[in-house]
Structures are given as structure tokens and as C-alpha cells.
Homo-oligomer: A and B are copies of this chain.
């Protein structure tokens, strides 16, 4: 049987902003500055950064990712949540109902969101052709195996299939460190 491999993409804390919140934080008519393209086509790290202020603490210089989205969403680690004093639920991107909010501070203004702070659930972006080759469909759960001293098997890994996606396994920094893996490292997908 063929084996299938996926390169790791480690996600540090970041924020996706709505157009309205971009303007509230950076000024009317402001548009995000493309700083560096991400692996997923069309997605980029913006030059802009903001601060997050929670009931217990502040995290400064959180990278904004573009382009703008319908809803503002903040993806942090559970350790970041401890610093801020909020408990981010582990959620798939876009699923923000009932998640905590936080104050966002930009150079030209502040926004307090009442939801949108999550810890992103691990997932694999797959091009339609990858999914066909591997034999999985959009929203299937697969496993990913890591070898080595910190070897483990990630279970409940959501497959996200789209013709504009590029094959990449997204975990946050804590998950990456727990498994001792690095950006770009190839891991085996297990169905």
C-alpha cells in the first residue's frame, strides 16, 4: 500500500481581521500590507501587528494575516490563553460561536470583540488531487504519525479539501514542540 506524506506548517499566534476592524484599528480606508506569502495560495502574513489585551495580561505584536475575512478571528495557544486570562476552545477555523473575546489594540484605535478567540484544531489542507490520491474527502478525520524521541500519533486531524489548497499539516507551536517537529518536515498520513 502506498504511504502518503504531508509537510508540517507550524502556526504561531495570529489574527484574521474583518474589513471593519482593519479600519477601526488602522484608520479609515486602510488596507493590509502584504509582507510574506503563506503556503496556502492567496493567504499572506501582513506587515501589520496588533496587541491583544485580556483580563489577566497582554500579548504584544500579534501578526495580522490577510486577506480580510468576514469575521475577526484570533488563533492562540492554550499557553497564550493563560497569559491573557481567557480560555480558547479548540475549534475549527470559522467556528467561533461561544468563544471568548478580547480587546485588540492597533495604532489608530481599539476594538473589543465579544467572541473569536480560539485554539485552532489541527488540520490538513489538501488540494482536491491530493485528497483523491490519499482516498479521503473534505472533513474526514485522519491521523498523522511522528517518529522520534517525542514520537506520537495525532488523531482527529481534519482533512480540508479544496482546489485552491496546498498540501500542508497545520498545528500550533505547542503541538509542534510536543512532537518535536519542524516546519517543512514530512509526516506520514494514516487513514
* A binding-site residues for B, Cβ under 8 Å: 77-79, 90, 121-122, 148-156, 171-175, 177-180
Contacts and interface: CB of A to CB of B under 8 A. Distances in A.
A178 B180 contact: no
A154 B156 contact: no
B152 A154 contact: yes
Secondary structure dominating the interface of A: mixed
Copies in the complex: 2
Contact of A79 (B150, B151, B173): B173
12 contacts: A78-B177, A79-B177, A90-B149, A90-B150, A90-B180, A121-B149, A150-B156, A152-B153, A152-B155, A172-B178, A174-B178, A178-B178
Contact of A155 (B78, B79, B153, B173): B153
A172 to B, nearest CB: 8
A121 B36 CA distance: 35
Contact of A151 (B151, B155, B179): B155
A180 B171 CA distance: 13
Contacts of A77: 177
A177 B171 CA distance: 12
A150 B178 CA distance: 12
A98 B173 CA distance: 25
A171 B179 CA distance: 12
Contacts of A152: 152-155
A57 to B, nearest CB: 15
A140 to B, nearest CB: 15
A149 B153 contact: no
Contacts of A179: 178
